[in-house]
Structure formats: C-alpha cells, structure tokens
Amino acid sequence: MDSPIFPSPALDRRAWPMGGQLDYWQASDCWPIRRYRLGAGTRGRMLILNGRGDMIEKYLEVIHHWAQRGWAVTSFDWRGQGGSGRLTDDPLCGHIDDFARWIDDLRALSNDWRAESSGPTVMLGHSMGGHMLLRALAEGLPKPDAAVAVAPMLGLHTAPLPRWLAVAIANFMCAIGQGEKRAWTQKEESERQRQMRQKRLTHDPDRYADEIWWRDHSRDIALGPPSWNWVRLALESTRALEAGNGPERIAVPTLVLAASCDRLVATPAIRRIAARLPDARLHVYGREAAHEILRELDPVRLDALGRIDRFLDEVAR
C-alpha cells in the first residue's frame, strides 16, 4: 500500500459534524428522501451513494474528511432504508419493488444536486451504491467529472450456494408470495451474530460498534436483512449490467477499490467489469480489508482515502 495520508481532524463518530444540514429532498412522487450536506465546496461537489441497509450516519467520518478537503458533500438514504421510510410493514426488512425506482430517484436528486452550484463534480458509491452509480451511468445519467466505486456490488457473493441455485431460490420465494419477506433472519440481540456480521464488514470493532450505537439510539434508521425481492433484483441487475455493453458506455474517469476476501460482493465480477470500463483504475486489497473499505482499520482506510484524493486531484479539476 502507498504511504497513508494524515487523517482529518478528530471527529466524534457518534455525533453530527458542526455546520451540516440534515433535511429531506422530495422525489417526483413526493416520497421524502433524507439528505445530509456538509462543506463549503471550494474544491467542488461530491455525491455519496450508500450501500444496502446503510444510513448517512455510518459515513459521517468520510463525509467530514472530504468536507475538510474542500468538497461540498451530499449524502442521502435510499428510499426504503435509513431515514427515508420503509416499503413494507416490517421496519427491519430492506425492500424495493424495482431497482429502476432507485435509479429514477438518483437521476432526479443528482439533477438538483448539479444545479446547486458550479465546479468539479464527483460521485462515489459503496457496495449497492456503487452498482447503482455504474448502472445509472450506463443508462445515460449525466456524467460527473469523476466516479469512485468502493467494493461495488457488481456480483453477489452467494457461496456456499452456486449462483444459479441462489437465483432459483429467490425466484421461487417471490413466486409463492414471499417477495416482501426477509430473505434470512438476523437476531439483533445475538452477540455471536453481531461478531460474524462485523467480520464480514470490517476488521475494526470500534467503527462497527459506531454503527450499532446509531442503530440502537435511532431505531427508526435501523434496517435488517433484505427482502427476497431485493435478492432477486440484485441478482438480475448485476447480471444484466455485465451481460450488456453498459460498462463500455461509461466514459467517466473511474477509480474502483475492492477487497479480494470480500464475502458480500463478488470480487471476480468487479475485476471483469473494471477491465471493460473505458477509463478505469482498479486496486484490490488483500486479507487486510473486508467489505467496508472506508470503515476499515486505519492502515487500509487511510490508504483508500489517499488513493481517492490523489485520483480526484488528478482528474476532477
């Protein structure tokens, strides 16, 4: 890894940074999307797209980092998760009827974001947010000056099941009317399950504990497993993106960061699609990184921030 950058000034990860604005942006159907903005924007503007089940609070540390570097940072909670309401009667089930609805939200929100001011623009997506970013760009989303995809969901890690069997099971469960039900159980009170989940996400128990703290103190933003329909759509959407010529149409300087030992998304799929992007750079971490690269232990986290900052200094001017 390259030499790490110095971290931004110390931040209380369990409090909102001073000077930010938390509000709601309304989608075309008047659905309220929770949004957070921080930073003066002397360097430009950055839009952060979170992953499945995430909420803005998980990424306050990196939002603060880029705001300190001069970016006007905007982040939001996808429809149906975080503080943007729910789409089923189960408040812990992460459900969506069609990924196209999220693409529509992203297109409209990013149009308003672009209109706020001038200057370089950057879009950064983590996991599901990385998939949505690349899919939207492939479908004609007005391109930013630079894109960053961190552990993007370009394929699902379905092991020990083969992908074809995961597809068959998801399709079956939706066909018998279970599409809005949780695809698996997640015992919130189980310390063992929390430890297993932490190891899949990050090697940093303190940053993982931050997420649990936010979830326990703001239960309205907490989310559990995805619905069977989300699983079905994720398998379909990732396959469709790879099967078509969409990656070749993404004419945006793109930095892709991945982890070879990721147990949530398929790193081989990330490698394949990154190789097809017209202007992409790929860095794959080894055992030192799990899925949440930007919430890892500092040697990885600071290395990732440094790579992103140097990339943006070069291409987003």
Chain segment 212-239, per-residue pLDDT in tens: 999 999 999 999 999 999 999 999 999 9
Model confidence pLDDT, tens digit, residues 68-125: 999 999 999 999 999 999 999 999 999 999 999 999 999 999 999 999 988 999 999 9
Model confidence pLDDT, tens digit, residues 133-177: 999 999 999 999 999 999 999 999 999 999 999 999 999 999 999
Give the global pTM. Answer: 0.95
pLDDT for position 6? 47
* CATH architecture, range 23-315: 3-Layer(aba) Sandwich (3.40)
Reduced to 3 states, what is the DSSP secondary structure of residue 94?
strand
pLDDT for position 209? 96
Angstrom distance (rounded) from CA 295 to CA 131: 19
Q: Of 94, 93, 83, which is closest to residue 219 (Cα–Cα)?
A: 83
Contact 132, 54 (CB under 8 A): no
Name the amino acid, one letter, at 31. Answer: W
Whole-number average pLDDT of the chain = 95
pLDDT for position 4? 46
For 98, list phi and psi in degrees, rounded to 5.
-160, 130
* Strand ranges across the sheet with 44-49: 21-26, 32-38, 71-76, 44-49, 121-126, 146-150, 254-259, 280-285
Residues 21-26 have a mean pLDDT of 98
Residues pairing with 126 in the sheet: 150
Q: At what angle do helices 191-201 and 205-217 cross, to 10 degrees?
A: 120
Residues 183-187 have a mean pLDDT of 85
Which of the four pLDDT bands, split at 50, 70 and 90, describes residue 9? low
pLDDT over 70 (residue 308): yes
DSSP label at 210? H
Provide the pairing of β-strand 44-49 with 32-38: unpaired
Name the amino acid, one letter, at 46. Answer: M
Share of the chain above pLDDT 70, in %: 97
Model confidence pLDDT, tens digit, residues 247-273: 999 999 999 999 999 999 999 999 999
pLDDT over 90 (residue 194): no
Question: Residue 62: how many CB atoms within 10 A of its CB?
Answer: 24
Angstrom distance (rounded) from CA 67 to CA 45: 9
For 228, list phi and psi in degrees, rounded to 5.
-60, -35
